[in-house]
Structure 1
Amino acid sequence: MKNLWLDIGNTRLKYWITENGQVIEQAAELHLQSPADLLLGLIQHFKALKLQKAGVSSVQDAKSNERIQKILRRLNIPVVFAKVHAEYAGLKCGYDAPAQLGIDRWLQVLAAARQPAQKYCIISCGTALTIDLADGLQHLGGYILPNLYLQRDSLIQNTKGIKIPDAAFDDLSPGRNTIDAVHHGILLGLASTIEKVLQQSPRQLILTGGDAQLFAKHLQAYAPVIEPDLLLLGLQHYSAHANAAAKA
């Protein structure tokens, strides 16, 4: 049985094809603010795979999501569009207004926070760096910060005379030139924020997203667990729970 899983974020569209629970194909592409157009270009490929069902996580607005749903109807398969609930599969949302929580964050917490007696710190190192805390199945809320590259770009745009080329964020030592000072300073700020959160309340650290390996390197004292496809796991769990509820 082949299934399609879509993660439609602010800047990119990522998909996974799974067969009997195993990922057999995956890709991620920038959608240039038009994810529906990108999806339209992929739909024939998806139709050829003879899929059984699809699950979707999308942070797009209602109008874009309507178009995405319309395109997916061409597959003639059941499609589950994930959304945030006050409580779902035993997990309780910590937001006063659950609909304001990003679906990507909700699914990542849903995937990670599975042990009632465990405390979790779930960090997504993507376009934004998001931090979500959970005590067992109780989501507590979290923090959102600009990621490494957004901070650097902001500095470049607002500082005359400083030209900062792409460089690796790989060191926390004091920079001995402007390029290193910028990169090391931004990384230090984000790593220190994570450490402060964990010092306030020790808990299992789970990292996901493109820069997870980078942050794990500087947070070894907290025994980080890296889950590259945490959102996929959350989307699969969400879909399974929705199917079970429909059959009950």
Structure 2
Amino acid sequence: MTFLAIDVGNTRLKWALYPSAKGNAVPMAQGAEFLDNIEKLSEGAWANLPAPTQMLGCIVAGDAVKRRVQEQMEIWDLAPHWVVSSAEEAGLTNGYDHPTRLGADRWVAMIGAWHRGLAQGPASPMVVVMVGTAVTVEAIDASGKFLGGIILPGHGIMLRALESGTAGLHVPTGTVREFPTNTSDALTSGGTFAIAGAVECMVKHVRTHCGTEPKCFMTGGAGWKMAPSMSVPFELAENLIFDGLLEMAARRFQGKQTASAQII
């Protein structure tokens, strides 16, 4: 019963094929494509894969991209299922004002982080950070309730905004420094410290609200770039969204789906 997990972000599609939909499964194959190259999947990376029997995906890129992905999946007899955030699932409660409006990637990553934390010990508050095209910083209490989160521009968007909105400012690649002494380093350091500061602020809020130090998990394509600049302890978890999809699929496809879970 092979399981295909798909994560479609704003820039790339990432996928992994597992021997089964279980929380601790190890991928048999995995890869990534930029969204412009989706049409290459069926004749390229997916052409020689064992046919998956189950699929669950997370997408933030919109319906047009979803249709393109599903067209590539027509090489298999496979029903596509996509996550919609719900009021509760896999042990997590959604505290968003309108639960279904929470970005699916945020919801799935939190579920992945929650179960990663449980595997390490008793339940505790946590902060979950995704660093990509955009940056999200989420707060979860020890009962598994999502308290809320913040969204800010990713590093690339910050730099492009400065370049387009500031006369004569061009954005070369710089180095993160404590005391930048040139414009390139100043821009790179500013974006990095803005993200680090947002994470530190959320950790402080959770610590005050819950009365204990939260675990901090960081994921996303640019997560490793932030590592040297973080002042709070954190675990870099490369595949939190895949971890979350596995946990959700294990329940949905084995008849343990809760009433609030949605598959469309």
Is TM > 0.5 for Structure 1 vs Structure 2?
A: yes
The code of the aligned residue for 1:183 comes to: T
1:223 equivalent in alignment to 2:230 = no
Identify the residue that residue 250 of structure 2 maps to in structure 1.
240
- Deviation for aligned residue 1:200: 2.5
| Greater relative contact order structure (CA < 8 Å, 6+ sep) | 2
Specify the SS of the correspondent of 2:185.
helix
CA distance in 2, matches of 1:48, 1:117: 41
Identify the residue that residue 41 of structure 1 maps to in structure 2.
40
- Deviation for aligned residue 1:64: 4.1
The code of the aligned residue for 2:247 comes to: H
Task: Give the number of aligned pairs.
Answer: 240
- Deviation for aligned residue 1:7: 0.8
Percent of matched pairs sharing the same residue? 27
Specify the SS of the correspondent of 1:113.
helix
The code of the aligned residue for 1:31 comes to: L
Instruction: Trace 1:183-194 onto structure 2 (pairs within 5 A).
Output: 183-194=188-199
Q: 2:145 aligns with which of 129, 138, 146?
A: 138
Identify the residue that residue 209 of structure 1 maps to in structure 2.
220
- Deviation for aligned residue 1:245: 2.6
On the 8 A contact 1:82/1:238 being kept in 2, the answer is no
On the 8 A contact 1:2/1:49 being kept in 2, the answer is no
On the 8 A contact 2:192/2:229 being kept in 1, the answer is no
Instruction: Trace 1:107-146 onto structure 2 (pairs within 5 A).
Output: 107-114=108-115, 115=118, 117-136=123-142, 137-146=144-153
On the 8 A contact 1:84/1:98 being kept in 2, the answer is yes
TM-score (norm: length of structure 1): 0.87
CA distance in 2, matches of 1:132, 1:209: 14
- Deviation for aligned residue 1:3: 2.9
Identify the residue that residue 262 of structure 2 maps to in structure 1.
none
Higher strand share: 1
- Deviation for aligned residue 1:18: 2.5
CA distance in 2, matches of 1:180, 1:247: 50
- Deviation for aligned residue 1:98: 1.3
Deviation beyond 6 Å, 4+ runs, structure 1: none
Unaligned runs of 5+ in 1: 33-37
The code of the aligned residue for 2:187 comes to: V
- Deviation for aligned residue 1:39: 3.7
Summarize deviations over 1:92-131 as a string: whole Å, max 9, x none. Answer: 1111111211111100001112347310100001110101
CA distance in 2, matches of 1:230, 1:119: 17
Identify the residue that residue 35 of structure 1 maps to in structure 2.
none
Instruction: Trace 1:1-248 onto structure 2 (pairs within 5 A).
Output: 2-19=2-19, 21-32=25-36, 38-44=37-43, 45-46=45-46, 48-51=48-51, 52-114=53-115, 115=118, 117-136=123-142, 137-168=144-175, 170-171=176-177, 173-202=178-207, 203-219=214-230, 221-245=231-255
CA distance in 2, matches of 1:247, 1:107: 15
CA distance in 1, matches of 2:126, 2:203: 10
